[in-house]
Structure formats: structure tokens, C-alpha cells
Amino acid sequence: RQEGGREMAAWARAVRGLLLDVSGVLYDSGGDGGVPIAGSVEAVRRIKASGLKLRFCTNETQATREKFVKKLQGMGFDISVAEVTAPAPAACRILKERSLRPHLLVHNDLVPEFAEIDKANPNCVVIGDAAENFTYANLNEAFRVLIGMEKPVLISLGRGRYYKETDGLKLDVGAYMKALEYACDVQAEVVGKPAKAFFESALAEMGVPPQEAIMIGDDIVNDVGGAQRCGMRALQVRTGKYRPCDENHPHVKPDAYVNNLAEAVDIILQQL
């Protein structure tokens, strides 16, 4: 098994761009806004000073990118909206291209991202991490919209199973997506990680080919597996939702495990 040790850092060579997951890598979210993970603010600063290209790749769908970025800036992170690849803007592009009018099952704070989109007489459902909005009534309403269609269209802003907040693990959008898939016998189209198009758009925004990029995340399936399927190297941090059983995952083997973002950045910058 490859460790993030200095002597075995072949994975760190010939890197031009880094993709960072946000929740669980930069900070742990929480009702109080959350807390930065030790060393992560400084690690982002060092990446930027090194001249490496950088994208923040998040499946965060509980807030607009503006609000989300403002929160991270408040924690001391050097980050701007233009550096964030997120599912909602990608979903809006798809909705416009295909003349889809969504019924939204999303967090109230995400609704402004869909301001430009026609939502009258819906012909699809868009589901995000709606948190407290995942009531029986709201799920049932989304179910009725889908089941009433000849060819139901369900677009999901991610398919994570759970994530970590400061007070513990929380169910994520994937669990509710699966409920609607099962009830309506439909396959959701996933817009966020681990969708290939999501990683490809982040790479295109950086102008870096996959073989010269590394993804760093806490989610073994969506961050690590998704990035590796795109031809990138991928590291799993032992922060956020990481659990020791991830290291025996039957299908996904990260290029390395690192204790946290700061350790990964140390190793990568030594190879430059």
C-alpha cells in the first residue's frame, strides 16, 4: 500500500494543477458555520504561491457559490467564486440547453442559483442537499412530478451518501436520490462529483490535462474514484468523512493516503 511518505512520493511528480474538495478537506461544516481543518488555510496559500493551477471542486449545494465562498473567506481561505467548480451552475447549463423546467427539491439557500431558469409547469426534478427540506411532503411532491411523466427526468446535484459536520455524520443527497430512483424506476443524471463531465470542466477551467493533475478529497468513491476514472491521480485525506474502512475499499485505491491537506501540499511542493 502506498503511503504519503517522502520516499514513496512518485505520485507527486509532474504536477501542474490541483483540484481540492472543500468540505472535509478545507473545513468541517456545521450549524455554526464550521471550522477550518488544521493547516488547511496555510496549505491553500502555499499552493497559490507555488504557481500551481488550482480549482476548488465541491458538491456543496446548501448555499450559492457567493455565500459559500464568503464563509470560507471568513475562515481565512484565499478563494474566489471564479475558482469554484460546483454542481448548480452546471445543472443550470443543462436545463437551458435541453429546455427543461425544474421542480426544485433543494436547500432554500441554493434557490437563487436557479433565478434565471423557467420553473413553470415543470418537466423534470432537480434534487440537491436539501437538509431540513427533505420532509416526507417535499419528497412526495417531487415523486408525484416524476411519476406523472412519460419519461421522467431526475437531475441530482451529487450522489454522496453522507458528509461530516462538526456534530457528526449527516445523510447526503444520494440517499434521497436513490429513494426517488427506486420509487419512479428512473436513473438520475448526476451533475456533481463523481460525474466525469464535472471533473473535465474543472480541468478545462485550469487548462491542465488529467495526467498532470491531482485531486485531493475525503470521499473515497466520489472524489478519489471519480478523479481516477478521468485519468487523474487522487489522494484521500484522513480528515472529514474519512473512515479507516475506506482503506480496504473493494474497488477504489487512492494513489496515496495523507493525513491532511497540509501534508499533501508539503510532499507535492518538494517535487516541484
Residue 8's pLDDT band, with cuts at 50, 70 and 90, is low
CATH fold, domain 22-27+38-59+208-271, is: Rossmann fold (3.40.50)
| Segments making up each domain of the chain, as ranges | 22-27+38-59+208-271, 88-190
- For 1, the grid coordinates are 500500500
Partners of 213 in the β-ladder? 17
Give the pLDDT score at 7: 52
Identical fold for domains 22-27+38-59+208-271 and 88-190, yes or no, is yes
Helix and strand counts by DSSP (H, E) for the chain: 8, 14
Calpha distance 55→177 (Å, rounded): 27
Q: What average pLDDT score do residues 164-168 get?
A: 93
pLDDT at 2 over 80: no
Give the pLDDT score at 32: 85
What is the DSSP-derived secondary structure letter of residue 217?
E
pLDDT at 14 over 50: yes
pLDDT at 221 over 60: yes
Q: How does pLDDT run across 222-271, given as a tens digit for each residue?
A: 999 999 999 999 999 999 999 999 999 999 999 999 999 999 999 999 99
Q: Which residues contact 50 (CB under 8 A, 6 or more apart)?
A: 269, 272
CATH fold, domain 88-190, is: Rossmann fold (3.40.50)
Q: What average pLDDT score do residues 103-114 get?
A: 97
